[in-house]
Structure 1
Amino acid sequence: MIYRPLQPPMLQSHLQNNHYHYEEYAPQPLLQSTVACYWSSTFQLSSTTLSTPFAYRIIPDGCIDIIFDLDALSVTQGAFVSSWMSTYDVFYPKQSMNFFGIRMYVEAVQAIVGYPIADLHEQIWLQELWGHSASYFWEQVVCASDNALRIDIIEQYLQQALYTYDIHPRPIHPLLSHSLSLMYDCAGQIDLATLAQQVHYSERTVRRIFQQEFGIRPKEILDIIRFQSVLQKMYRYPQYSLGELAFSGGYYDQSHLIHDFHRYYGLTPGQLSIQVQSNSAL
């Protein structure tokens, strides 16, 4: 199974208008296990739109992004690596902005950025990680004439970083890659005891390696993957009832699902499903 998380603009298309545009782009097949997607997000704001600010959300998706500010004047504030998200964030844009991002699976981040994921407590500037090479990479990405060329430049770099032996950083512990593969395959519907048994380690060791390498508890990753799988069902099958979503997502009951919606989205399933159904009717 290929895990493809969703962000609010894909579910709430009414958010997109003349002032805001969001789009996702699939990676080439060779990079599908490394990159969930590439994305662009553009805000073109005026005094009129600023007078009636609108809330935009970012939700946990189990990924970490490299984000390029295409309007920045230099790499020192033009490209950064995001940190792991464990809950939703709401922001109100106050100026026009133009971003392009690489959404990476958590197990691929260290191989690409060369930095321990457990130390990514806050966003970190790409220049701090890569030095002068970050400037060259950022300039190529920012100066690309369109997103197709931008993606081509990025994918050439990613392939070099991942498949050139001389610059390949220390790989993650094999327990992590095996565990995450199982987590994705079962859409987060596996308990820690069963997971530990299938990867042939003790539960204590699984917890320790996840915390040591990622700084994240395995249950937290499982919960986000399961929640994202429910969002995928809402997106593909808007006719599903709340009970059907809860059952298919492996939740104890509807209140358990509602709790996760409050935690990860800041909306109830009912609020979101109405918007999704409205979008699908357009």
Structure 2
Amino acid sequence: MLKMNTQDFVPLQPGFEMNTSYYVEFKEKDQQDGSTTLFYQFKVKEEVANTMTVIPDGCIDILFCCDPEHPYAKVCGSVLTSKKIQLQANHEYFGGRFLPKSELDCSRYSIKDIIDHEIPLNEMFLIDHLSIQEIVKQKDFVEKIKLFNNMLRNIIFASNSATTSMKFALRKMYSVKGNITMNELAEEIGCSTRYLRKYFEQYIGISPKLFSQILRFQYSLYLLTKTNEYNIRDIIYEIGYYDQAHFINEFKKFSHLTPKEILLQSIKN
């Protein structure tokens, strides 16, 4: 059976891949902490404009609309359940998906404020609109990534802002695919569950329990749709669900679909 490399894992948004005219992505590894950022670009199909669905991923996305006449960028916090978002038909979008490891360098909004919300990038940060235009007008995908890293990344994310305890907690949760209790995690860190919750609300915006559930769901989704080595029974065992009912209920909670329905959609597309 395939051994999953949790360090390379970035949560999925299947709608971006399945409901677009084209989709490309590039994973960039942070040389300091080994975490991975996913950059992507796609073009929206006419028939799915304004009906694109996103699912919980526990991440922050920075999404650019590459309309040369009306370019814009927004910060997208993780949704808490499956949700339709508005995208323009036949328009290109470029974005980055960032794992929670650094606090947003913003005094006007907390990370909790953007959970389940989309906020204009230049409303949250002191960013010149010309920087957004520069990225949008660049045709080459790789060059877009370079421009984003050089012009905006350090403005948006505070460098090495997470505490040692929080970094350890996140590494641990990703390494066990979310399959850990809050009491176990608090004991490994050496803090109370109350302080653990406080850390998570500051850096991720949701409780550690909910974050672990989202991680478990996302890892299961990856094994279900991106590999041929795992059947449903294997995933239940690998990810640590109590039983099949628990597995199905958690999928429906976050995606409004059963695992089989999601699998059929991914095969169809």
What is the TM-score with the length of structure 2 in the denominator? Answer: 0.83
**CA contact 1:116–1:214 (8 Å) conserved in 2:** no
Alpha-carbon spacing, 1:238–1:109, altered in 2? closer, same or farther (3 Å):
farther
Alpha-carbon spacing, 1:219–1:134, altered in 2? closer, same or farther (3 Å):
farther
Alpha-carbon spacing, 1:113–1:95, altered in 2? closer, same or farther (3 Å):
farther
Larger Rg: 1
Per mean C-alpha deviation after superposition, the further-off stretch among 185-194 and 153-162 is 153-162
Alpha-carbon deviation of 1:253? 0.6
Alpha-carbon deviation of 1:188? 0.6
Equivalent residue of 1:27, what SS? Answer: strand
**CA contact 1:188–1:222 (8 Å) conserved in 2:** yes
Q: Which residue of 2 aligns with 1:129?
A: 124
**CA contact 2:122–2:128 (8 Å) conserved in 1:** yes
**CA contact 2:174–2:215 (8 Å) conserved in 1:** yes
Q: Which residue of 2 aligns with 1:267?
A: 257
**CA contact 1:110–1:169 (8 Å) conserved in 2:** no
Q: Which residue of 1 aligns with 2:3?
A: none
**CA contact 2:29–2:37 (8 Å) conserved in 1:** no
Q: Which residue of 2 aligns with 1:154?
A: 148
Q: Which residue of 2 aligns with 1:65?
A: 61
Per mean C-alpha deviation after superposition, the further-off stretch among 172-181 and 255-264 is 172-181
Percent identity between the two aligned chains: 26
The structure with the greater share of residues assigned to helix is 1
CA distance in structure 2 between the partners assigned to 1:54 and 1:115 by the alignment? 26
Alpha-carbon deviation of 1:200? 0.9
- Name stretches of at least 5 consecutive residues in structure 2 with no aligned partner: 1-5
Q: Which residue of 2 aligns with 1:5?
A: 11
- Name stretches of at least 5 consecutive residues in structure 1 with no aligned partner: none
What is the TM-score with the length of structure 1 in the denominator? Answer: 0.80
CA distance in structure 2 between the partners assigned to 1:188 and 1:113 by the alignment? 30
CA distance in structure 2 between the partners assigned to 1:159 and 1:89 by the alignment? 27
CA distance in structure 1 between the partners assigned to 2:29 and 2:248 by the alignment? 36
Question: Which amino acid counterpart does residue 74 of structure 2 have in structure 1?
Answer: F
CA distance in structure 2 between the partners assigned to 1:32 and 1:41 by the alignment? 28
**CA contact 2:10–2:36 (8 Å) conserved in 1:** no
Question: Which amino acid counterpart does residue 96 of structure 2 have in structure 1?
Answer: I
Alpha-carbon deviation of 1:210? 1.9
Alpha-carbon deviation of 1:88? 1.2
Q: Which residue of 2 aligns with 1:179?
A: 169
Alpha-carbon deviation of 1:274? 3.1
Alpha-carbon deviation of 1:29? 4.5
CA distance in structure 2 between the partners assigned to 1:128 and 1:246 by the alignment? 42
Question: Which amino acid counterpart does residue 212 of structure 2 have in structure 1?
Answer: L
Per-residue Cα deviation, 1:85-125 (whole angstroms, up to 9, x for no partner):
11111357663322111111122351599953123242221
CA distance in structure 1 between the partners assigned to 2:90 and 2:224 by the alignment? 31
Q: Which residue of 1 aligns with 2:133?
A: 139
Give the alignment partner of residue 233 of structure 2, picking from 236, 240, 243: 243
Equivalent residue of 1:108, what SS? Answer: coil
Number of matched residues? 262
**CA contact 2:58–2:99 (8 Å) conserved in 1:** yes
Give the alignment partner of residue 196 of structure 2, picking from 197, 206, 211: 206
Question: Which amino acid counterpart does residue 125 of structure 2 have in structure 1?
Answer: W
Alpha-carbon spacing, 1:32–1:115, altered in 2? closer, same or farther (3 Å):
farther
Question: Which amino acid counterpart does residue 154 of structure 1 have in structure 2?
Answer: F
**CA contact 1:112–1:158 (8 Å) conserved in 2:** no
**CA contact 2:73–2:121 (8 Å) conserved in 1:** yes
Q: Which residue of 2 aligns with 1:103?
A: 97
**CA contact 2:54–2:83 (8 Å) conserved in 1:** yes
Alpha-carbon spacing, 1:207–1:91, altered in 2? closer, same or farther (3 Å):
closer
Alpha-carbon spacing, 1:168–1:220, altered in 2? closer, same or farther (3 Å):
closer
Equivalent residue of 2:28, what SS? Answer: coil
